[in-house]
Amino acid sequence: MGMIDFRSQSLRIKYFAVPFLILSILFLWNQWRISNPDTALNTAREYLEGQFPGDKWDLERLALVGEGLGKKWRLEFSNLQKNGRRIQANLLVDRWMPGKILGRFVIILSPPQVLDGEWSKPALWQQISSKVSRQGFFFIGILLLALQIFWLYRMHRRGVFRKPDGAVLAFLGAALLLIFALTEVHPGFMIAYPLTLTFLGLAAGFTAGKTDVPQKE
């Protein structure tokens, strides 16, 4: 395979590389957003400060619960009142929409007294997605990767890039990036993968001196 002449790859750049890299940046930003609990923590503190003005709350636990798109931030707080009674607050915050509290259970201990207990009913798509395991997403990711390899091989055998190739590769790449976000892969891999696929998409089937010619669909 000769060196890639990017000037002769206008179709690949316009219909694949640019759209796919833009999608990749959006996915990376979203990965950072959902893996950062700061917004969920601020949402929880705003709720507690609004319900119990002036009280000081200590964060006891912050953890992820659920599977797939059903993952939520679980936050546990405690507060010791002046009369010696301890209040415990368990809050559930939507990880994809961290400004939304899905569950609230605030209780005074010894003797127990529920101050606030309310839970939002999850949407149907959340109920379905929460049943997909990490292994299930991993299998889907392997299938998407196999389809990408097959399509790149097809392009290599044909030797010419067509507009639909860009749409297919960008779609498969974006779908795999979503799987990476759901399965919490290392951020470095999420950066390396789109760069690698972009290079392979530009290089597949390319030979020195040959340019991609628009084909009639």
CA-nearest of 187, 213, 206, 214 to 6 is 206
Is residue 200 exposed (0-12), middle (13-18) or buried (19+ Cβ within 10 Å)?
Answer: middle
Average pLDDT, the chain: 85
Query: pLDDT (tens digit, 9 = 90+) per residue, 65-91?
Result: 887 777 899 999 999 988 888 999 999
Query: pLDDT (tens digit, 9 = 90+) per residue, 24-54?
Result: 999 899 888 888 999 999 999 999 999 999 8
Cα(206)–Cα(159) distance, integer angstroms: 6
CA-nearest of 168, 170, 206 to 9 is 206
* Contact by Cβ (8 Å): 90, 99: no
Cα(201)–Cα(196) distance, integer angstroms: 9
Half-sphere exposure of 78 (CA within 13 A, CB side): 7
pLDDT at 7: 53
CB atoms under 10 Å from CB of 103, counted, come to: 15
Alpha helices in the chain, H assignment, sequence order: 10-12, 18-35, 38-51, 124-129, 134-158, 163-183, 187-203
pLDDT at 120: 86
Query: pLDDT (tens digit, 9 = 90+) per residue, 96-115?
Result: 889 999 999 999 988 889 99
Cis bond before residue 214 (omega within 30° of 0): no
Query: pLDDT (tens digit, 9 = 90+) per residue, 166-195?
Result: 999 999 999 999 888 888 788 888 899 999
Higher pLDDT, 2 or 154: 154
Cα(69)–Cα(62) distance, integer angstroms: 18
Q: Is the pTM of this model over 0.75?
A: no
